[in-house]
């Protein structure tokens, strides 16, 4: 019996250490700040998605591959997230996920608009925060760290956001995840 208890404690300790290493390597100790920042308009190509936000990556990756086949090389993924997962069941969460369209010719833009769903995310003043993308776990740790800070900022400053969605921009060249909400 004693050997079983020692084995269980050892397994639990290893799992806790592994979880700690993953969280630390994903940026869990990263300090998060929120600022108000003017952002330019962004043209995006997207797909609508309903379901757990954690499942949007495949939709985004598939759209990215399709754009690559069409000769477009987007370097920023984007998600527009409409619902608060604390208040809406996972299977009802609504989002638009895809890519920010890089500078393209008028002909390429016309082709994109014919083939894909496109949307212009308006320019304006946004609540803005960023989180480093250190590894795949940063996509999970980032929201856990950033959204509570944005929520406190909104409460402390008595801000009423004007956006119907929050934005996450996955900036691959800079290994950064940007969080923005129109105010």
- CATH topology for 35-182 is Multidrug-efflux Transporter 1 Regulator Bmrr; Chain A (3.20.80)
What is the value of pTM for the model shown? 0.82
Residue 13 has pLDDT above 70, yes or no: no
Question: Which residue ranges make up each domain of the chain?
Answer: 1-30, 35-182
Residue 149 has pLDDT above 90, yes or no: yes
In whole angstroms, give the CA distance from residue 182 to residue 178. 13
pLDDT value at position 46? 97
């Amino acid at each position: 019996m004693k050997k079983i208890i020692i084995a269980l404690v050892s397994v639990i300790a290893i799992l806790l250490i592994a979880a700690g290493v993953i969280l630390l390597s994903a940026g869990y100790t990263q300090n998060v700040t929120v600022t108000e920042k003017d952002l330019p308009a962004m043209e995006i190509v997207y797909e609508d998605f309903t379901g757990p936000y954690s499942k949007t990556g495949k939709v985004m990756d598939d759209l990215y591959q399709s754009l690559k086949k069409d000769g477009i090389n987007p370097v920023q993924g984007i998600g527009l997230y409409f619902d608060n997962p604390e208040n809406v069941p996972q299977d009802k969460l609504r989002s638009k996920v895809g890519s920010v369209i890089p500078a393209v010719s008028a002909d390429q833009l016309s082709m994109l608009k014919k083939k894909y769903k496109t949307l212009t995310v308006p320019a304006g003043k946004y609540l803005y925060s960023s989180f480093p993308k250190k590894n795949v776990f940063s996509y999970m740790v980032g929201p856990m760290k950033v959204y509570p800070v944005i929520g406190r900022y909104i409460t402390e400053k008595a801000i009423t956001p004007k956006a119907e969605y929050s934005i996450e921009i996955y900036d691959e060249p800079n290994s950064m995840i940007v969080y923005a909400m129109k105010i």
